[in-house]
Structure 1
């Protein structure tokens, strides 16, 4: 059972501020950090999540996840090319996989992921995308195709849009910039939690 709110943070600092508010599913998505810094941030995130009963998912760095004994990673399509899925399975590490089109969905489902992510659902400022916004109808289509595999919607989501994608069949709504760039990430996180509580 996936949590409705899937928080993605770019730093352990932000993760440590938001997880205590009641976030139960969080991805640490560190970009351009030195290996030593990445390791320290990951250990901090692991400890914070353990303390508060939250599931930590590490983005990209599957080898570090194996080394530190983490049990969940997220991999983009490029990361999938290099990942040792056999090693992840042997270690009991679950993995979520990004998808944007039909070919990527087929590839992801063949690897028996813990979830499939679809994005961007709405326009996003997080990164340049070669894909146009997928829209809520695509969420419905993807849900019909993934079967029992949980579906995560990502890209341009606000609490109100998240309600829509959950009603369309997504199991979880992933949020990055709407919280990270908020004047008060704490207050915005609480808005998200309150909005999604009864969806």
Structure 2
């Protein structure tokens, strides 16, 4: 499976409505602390928008809702992986992406036969408090050797200037959150990312 090299992560359907029409082809909806009705509305809106603009939508965490709403891709962290019904996810034809931060987590993830592996944080990140030190480019190269042929996603502290190094080290796709959502001009920054990643398609 080939993933788009630019992997946008946002926390609302409103962000998807703003940025996906610019040419984004891979986006994760990562929402925290909302009730189920709100989540359902957000997922339905995001799904409709992504279908309209031919963008692959990935739902973070809420695999049951993703199945109910007919979504075809979910992303799970290690804690969610412990409680997820992988056979049900597989039976629904839903693809699976998993987060990893160390050797133990990578072994756990690989046993689940995911459709991609994410590694982070590559650089220091302000997205959330991490107990892991920045992984660095060498870890990307190590993970690349260990997960081939599964696609490898790099996440954490990435920006357009660091992009080539991450891909040269072995990443297939770069996941981006705050570099865009906290930018003074998210639309311009998104266009910059798309232009920069076009050479890696």
| Residue aligned with 1:133, SS | coil
Cα deviation, residue 34, structure 1: 1.9
1:106-144 per-position Cα deviation (integer Å, ceiling 9, x unaligned): 110111100000000000000000000000111001000
Aligned to 1:34: 35
Aligned to 1:178: 179
Aligned to 1:113: 114
Matches within 5 A, 1:147-166: 147-166=148-167
Structure 2 residue 39 is the aligned partner of structure 1 residue 47? no
| Residue aligned with 2:33, SS | coil
Cα deviation, residue 159, structure 1: 1.1
What 5-or-longer segments of structure 1 have no aligned partner?
A: none
Question: What's the Cα RMSD here?
Answer: 0.7
Give the Cα–Cα distance (whole angstroms) in 2 for the partners of residues 118 and 198 of structure 1. Answer: 22
1:58-96 per-position Cα deviation (integer Å, ceiling 9, x unaligned): 000000011111100000000001100000000100010
1:40-62 per-position Cα deviation (integer Å, ceiling 9, x unaligned): 11100000000000000000000
Cα deviation, residue 161, structure 1: 1.1
TM superposition outliers: structure 1 runs of 4+ over 4 Å: none
Q: TM-score, normalised by structure 1?
A: 0.99
Matches within 5 A, 1:20-169: 20-169=21-170
| Residue aligned with 2:121, SS | coil
| Residue aligned with 1:73, SS | strand
| Residue aligned with 1:43, SS | helix
Cα deviation, residue 38, structure 1: 1.0
Cα deviation, residue 197, structure 1: 1.0
